[in-house]
Amino acid sequence: MSDFDTQIPTTFDPFAEASGDNAGAGSKEYVHIRVQQRNGRKSLTTVQGLKKEYSKTKILKDLKKEFCCNGTVVEDPELGQVIQLQGDQRKNVSTFLVQAAIVKKDQIKIHGF
């Protein structure tokens, strides 16, 4: 019975979502954070799909300082600029991007194992 109480519709209307606020912001545009294995126990983190408005080099500078790792911005013909970082920084990157309000949490997709 107590379960029933929680299902009473509130101000959030699940059907209004499609035409709602985040449709314009491009809710499909995920930021993909991937990890790749290198030789030995080394790995590489890539961040793909950041919006054009942001300067990747500036983000990269802060990321490098924050995680104490090196990295570059790679130009990809299809995917635009992609940030590469040394080491497995997936969690760090996602928390950083959310905290800096660059991306919303539900737009981040973390790949890899």
Name the site residues for other proteins (rule: CB under 8 A).
1, 32, 34-39, 44, 46, 48, 74, 76, 79, 82, 84, 111-113
State in angstroms the smallest separation of the CB of 1 from other proteins.
Answer: 7
State in angstroms the smallest separation of the CB of 26 from other proteins.
Answer: 15
Nearest CB to other proteins, comparing residues 11 and 39: 39
Nearest CB to other proteins, comparing residues 47 and 101: 47
3-state secondary structure the chain: CHHHHHCCCCCCCCCCHHHCHHHCCCCCCCEEEEEEECCCCCEEEEEECCCCCCCHHHHHHHHHHHHCCCEEEEEECCCEEEEEEECCCHHHHHHHHHHCCCCCHHHEEECCC
Nearest CB to other proteins, comparing residues 49 and 66: 49
State in angstroms the smallest separation of the CB of 62 from other proteins.
Answer: 20
